[in-house]
């Protein structure tokens, strides 16, 4: 049986490889310059394509067979599979607590152990952890696909940059303001899209993100256009000014505190009344309404909560880089944050954290692959959706156990 | 008056290209209720295929109009093949998954195709040869209507008329309408739904390729990123007319083209894209079903 299956997969893969090579032939092989009237032929690419697509097709069909035979993994987010031995071991408090303590200790000691360059990379990763957790509220918990999330990030960043430029307001004064502005814009976006279903919502939020970026790019008098704003002040500490490396360490600790706070807040939110309302909203909007949940309020809150974190992070981002321009806030950024949430596992806090570290640190340490980064992101999003829609670490639903022992026997 | 006419016709030609792309969105949505995010990329791939064919044939010294015709046909074939493959890889395995899943894989596909073209070709703008010659009898109208605008408008009308005929009178067209109305019921009466879905993707993608080659030749340059904005705007056009409705997509494309053309002509040219998105947001707030769409109660 198995060999028959293998032969079938082999044949299918050969067909797939030939088909994909035919498809990609013009774009991969031929390159024309219509001004110089020259044509470059790159036949080597065709060979790579044949071999590569054959191998990928083989893997694809193998995984597809496994998926179809498994049955449990049919894209349904709710099927409860038995937890693996690893996750049981990891969830044992005697293992988990020392592990967490060690992780925290390592995080606290990090700037003293490694160079400023490494610390800077880690700050970016931490920023994306918070962004991912924020988007996780909107997408993972409430099931509202927001493709313009980066707009709120931009709002926070520009709020700090402009207030600092015009009024010399400091980091700590603008930080809460950034969050509030983010929430305000979240509600502003939320109102018109309340009545829309998932896919419309995706497009409108995408359009909104683009509008914000285009306005920032074209309204020179307000945002200084494509050239952006430079010389933004780093965060201060009661009038003490730091050198660059000290400031980096300082921002690192601010971010670390922020991450811990965000984890705490989102974890508590998830099991709260409003968090359960979001989950209900995600599963079935009509049933949710029938149960007496105010859909409008729940949706607006999800948008606002998610946007708040993006607003905070915008302020930190501006303070960290001391320079911002609209090019930092393109759709690709939104797509990347979404990829973090999807890859890590929608609704799962440890998953999103893992996703952020993976997606942010991998390109840093694999510079050679950096131009293939977005290509891999795209492919990953498809593969994850097809084979593991619950993400790397699956979100766990809280289980309430009811004691069914009859009262008399107690 | 001449300025008005100039804006009117440039809006019309732009709008008919939007309509060509919007048809792909609306047909796919009508049948499987999915926003095919990768559709804009299919359009871009069509334009690139057209460029490659044009480059090859120009080197052989063919006449411009023959090159244009062949480039359009080859681009249609390739884009159709891409549309077919994209459906098989990214959407078919997810047909019974929750709604968010195919949407996210569609976004993934869009990012993948963009970067694939960027890596295979170039991240820079590529010049596209002007394949549309200035015809002699158009000389006196040139102040407000160029030959390429005219050609785009005429081609779009012909293609859309052909599509209408196909949907109304052929066997496959009837099967498509049946599937759009009720997929399960269509299956019960013997419609091969898989085939219908594939055909829809192929036709929609080929239409986008026609738009891609024509507009690229009109604009004179392309790069890997053109599909993103064009796709977004075409989607706006589809929603504007009422998604799922084929005449709606055509009307929506024209309305969007004129809105953009007049707004940039009379208000400000910096915010061309902003007007399109604002129009989308306004339509969704006040008439979510679109201009020609029917407001249907949601079944529980």
Residues B130-153 have pLDDT tens digits of 877 777 676 777 777 778 888 888
Contact (CB, 8 A) for A135 and A128: no
Tens digits of per-residue pLDDT, B272-297? Answer: 778 888 887 787 777 777 777 766 65
Nearest to B78 among A26, A335, A346 (CB): A26
- B297 vs A299: CA distance, rounded Å: 21
> Per the CB < 8 Å rule, is B49 touching A26?
yes
The minimal CB distance from B101 to the residues A193, A207, A385 is found for: A385
Confidence of residue B269 (pLDDT cuts 50, 70, 90): confident
Residue B145 lies in a domain: yes
Q: How many angstroms separate the CA atoms of A110 and A98, rounded? A: 18
Interface size, chain A vs chain B, as Cβ–Cβ contacts under 8 Å: 185
Burial status of residue B110 (CB atoms within 10 A of its CB: 0-12, 13-18, 19 or more): buried
Strands B221-222 and B126-127: antiparallel
Nearest-angstrom CA–CA distance, A135 and A306: 5
pLDDT the model gives residue B298: 56
| The two three-digit tokens of residue B227, written as one number | 């599909």
In a domain, B114, yes or no: yes
Rounded distance between C-alpha atoms, residue A57 and residue A36, angstroms: 38
B32 touching A, CB under 8 A?
A: no
Two tokens, residue A349: 């806090």
Residue B204 lies in a domain: yes
Considering the domain boundaries, does residue B252 fall inside one? no
Q: What is the pLDDT of residues B148-202, one digit of tens each?
A: 888 888 888 999 899 999 999 999 999 999 998 888 899 999 999 999 999 999 9
| Domain edges within chain A | 2-70, 88-387
Report CB contact under 8 Å: B108, A379: yes
Token look-up 């407000």 returns B144
- pTM of the full structure: 0.84
The domain tally of chain B equals 1
Residue B222: pLDDT above 50? yes
Q: Are A214 and B274 in contact (CB under 8 A)?
A: yes
Q: Which residues of A touch B285 (CB under 8 A)?
A: 192
For A78, which residue in chain B has the nearest alpha carbon? B98
Give chain A positions within 8 Å (CB) of B300: 286
In which domain, by residue range, is B144 found? 8-229
What tokens were used for B38? 């990768």
pLDDT of B170: 92
Instruction: Please report which confidence band the pLDDT of residue B99 belongs to, taking 50, 70 and 90 as the band edges.
Output: confident
Chain B residues near residue A143 by CB distance under 8 angstroms: 100
Q: Which residue of B has its CA nearest to A216?
A: B271
pLDDT at A72: 46
Assess B236–A contact: CB distance below 8 Å, yes or no: yes
Q: Flag whether B273 is in a domain.
A: no
Averages of pLDDT over runs of 10 residues in chain A (410 residues) are 80 88 85 78 86 88 82 46 65 78 83 83 91 92 88 92 86 89 89 72 82 86 82 74 79 90 91 90 86 88 92 92 88 86 86 88 73 82 85 76 66
Tell how far CA B157 is from the center of its chain.
14
Closest CA to B232 of B36, B50, B46, B10: B36
């Amino acid at each position: 049986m198995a060999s028959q299956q293998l032969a079938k997969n082999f044949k299918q893969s050969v067909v797939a490889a030939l088909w994909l090579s035919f498809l990609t032939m013009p774009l991969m092989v031929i390159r024309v310059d219509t001004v110089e009237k020259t044509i470059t032929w790159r036949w080597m690419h065709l060979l790579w394509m044949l071999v590569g697509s054959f191998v990928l097709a083989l893997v694809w069909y193998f995984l597809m067979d496994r998926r179809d035979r498994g049955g449990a993994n049919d894209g349904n987010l709710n099927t409860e599979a038995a937890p693996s031995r690893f996750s049981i071991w990891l969830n044992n408090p005697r293992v988990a607590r020392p592990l967490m303590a060690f992780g925290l200790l390592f995080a606290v000691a990090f700037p003293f152990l490694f160079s400023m360059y490494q610390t800077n990379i880690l700050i970016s990763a931490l920023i994306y952890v918070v962004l991912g957790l924020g988007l996780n509220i909107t997408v993972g918990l409430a099931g509202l696909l927001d493709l313009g999330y980066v707009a709120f990030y931009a709002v926070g960043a520009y709020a700090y940059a402009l207030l600092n430029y015009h009024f010399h307001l400091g980091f700590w004064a603008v930080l809460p303001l950034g969050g509030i502005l983010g929430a305000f814009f979240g509600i502003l976006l939320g109102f018109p899209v309340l009545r829309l279903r998932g896919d419309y919502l995706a497009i409108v939020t995408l359009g909104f993100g683009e509008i914000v970026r285009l306005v920032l790019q074209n309204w020179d008098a307000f945002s200084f256009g494509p050239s952006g704003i430079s010389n933004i002040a780093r965060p201060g500490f009661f009038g003490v000014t730091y050198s660059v490396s000290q400031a980096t360490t300082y921002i690192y600790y601010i971010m670390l505190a922020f991450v811990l706070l965000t984890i705490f807040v989102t974890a508590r939110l998830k099991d709260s009344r409003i968090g359960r309302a979001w989950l209900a909203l995600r599963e079935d909007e009509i049933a949710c309404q029938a149960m007496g949940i105010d859909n409008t309020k729940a949706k607006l809150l999800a948008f606002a909560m998610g946007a708040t974190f993006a607003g905070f992070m915008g302020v930190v981002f501006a303070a960290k880089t001391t320079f911002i321009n609209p090019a930092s806030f393109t759709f690709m950024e939104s797509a990347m944050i979404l990829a973090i949430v999807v890859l890590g596992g929608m609704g799962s806090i440890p998953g999103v954290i893992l996703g952020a570290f993976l997606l942010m640190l991998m390109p840093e340490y694999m510079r050679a692959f950096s131009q293939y980064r977005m290509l891999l992101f795209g492919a990953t999003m498809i593969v994850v959706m097809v084979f593991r829609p619950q993400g790397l670490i699956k979100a766990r639903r809280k289980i309430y156990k009811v004691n069914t022992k009859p009262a008399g026997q107690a | 008056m001449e300025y008005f006419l100039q804006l009117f016709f440039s809006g019309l030609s732009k709008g008919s290209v939007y309509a060509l792309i919007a048809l792909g969105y609306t047909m796919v949505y009508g049948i499987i209720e999915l926003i095919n995010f990768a559709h804009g990329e299919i359009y871009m791939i069509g334009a690139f295929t057209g460029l490659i064919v044009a480059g090859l044939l120009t080197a052989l010294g063919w006449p411009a109009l023959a090159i244009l015709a062949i480039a359009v046909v080859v681009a249609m074939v390739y884009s159709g093949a891409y549309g077919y493959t994209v459906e098989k890889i990214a959407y078919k395995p997810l047909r019974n998954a929750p709604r968010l899943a195919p949407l996210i894989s569609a976004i993934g596909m869009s990012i993948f195709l963009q970067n694939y073209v960027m890596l295979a070709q170039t991240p820079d703008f590529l010049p596209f040869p002007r394949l549309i010659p200035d015809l002699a009898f158009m000389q006196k109208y040139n102040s407000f209507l160029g030959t390429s605008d005219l050609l785009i408008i005429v081609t779009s009308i012909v293609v859309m008329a052909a599509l209408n005929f196909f949907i109304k009178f052929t066997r496959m067209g009837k099967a498509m309408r049946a599937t759009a109305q009720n997929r399960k019921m269509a299956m019960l009466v013997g419609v091969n739904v898989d085939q219908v879905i594939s055909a829809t993707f192929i036709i929609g993608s080929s239409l986008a390729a026609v738009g891609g080659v024509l507009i690229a030749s009109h604009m004179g340059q392309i790069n890997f990123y053109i599909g993103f904005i064009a796709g977004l705007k075409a989607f706006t056009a589809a929603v504007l007319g009422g998604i799922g409705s084929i005449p709606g997509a055509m009307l929506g494309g024209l309305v969007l083209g004129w809105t953009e053309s007049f707004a940039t002509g009379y208000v400000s040219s910096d915010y061309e894209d902003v007007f399109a998105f604002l129009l989308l947001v306004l339509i969704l707030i006040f008439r979510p079903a679109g201009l020609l769409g029917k407001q249907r109660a949601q079944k529980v």
